[in-house]
Structure 1
Amino acid sequence: MDINIQARGFSLTKALRDHAERRLRFALGWADDRLRRISVRLSDENGPRGGEDKRCRIRIAFAGAPSVVIEDTETDVYVAIDRAADRAGRSVARRLERQRNQHRRLLPTLASVESLTWAWR
Structure 2
Amino acid sequence: MQIDIQSRNFPLTNALRDRVERRLCFALSTRDEHILRIMVRLSDINGPRGGADKCCHIQVILPHLPDVVIEDTEVDLYAAIDRAADRAGRTVGRRLARHRDRDRSSVPREMEALTEIPESVNDLIGDNP
- Give the TM-score range, shorter chain: over 0.9
Greater Rg over alpha carbons, structure: 2
Aligned length: 120
Whichever residue aligns with residue 98 of structure 2, its letter is: R
Segments of 4+ moved more than 3 angstroms = none
CA RMSD between the two structures? 1.1
Gaps of 5+ in 1: none
Q: Distance in 2 between matches of 1:67 and 1:108?
A: 28
- Say which structure is richer in strand: 1
Q: Structure 1-normalised TM-score?
A: 0.94
CA deviation map 1:70-104 (0-9, x unaligned): 00000011000000000011001101110111011
The residue number in structure 1 matching 2:58 is 58
Q: Structure 2-normalised TM-score?
A: 0.89
Q: Distance in 1 between matches of 2:73 and 2:65?
A: 26
Query: Is 1:40 matched with 2:61?
Result: no
Q: Distance in 1 between matches of 2:98 and 2:106?
A: 12
Q: Distance in 1 between matches of 2:44 and 2:110?
A: 51
Gaps of 5+ in 2: 122-129
Equivalent pairs: percent with the same residue? 55
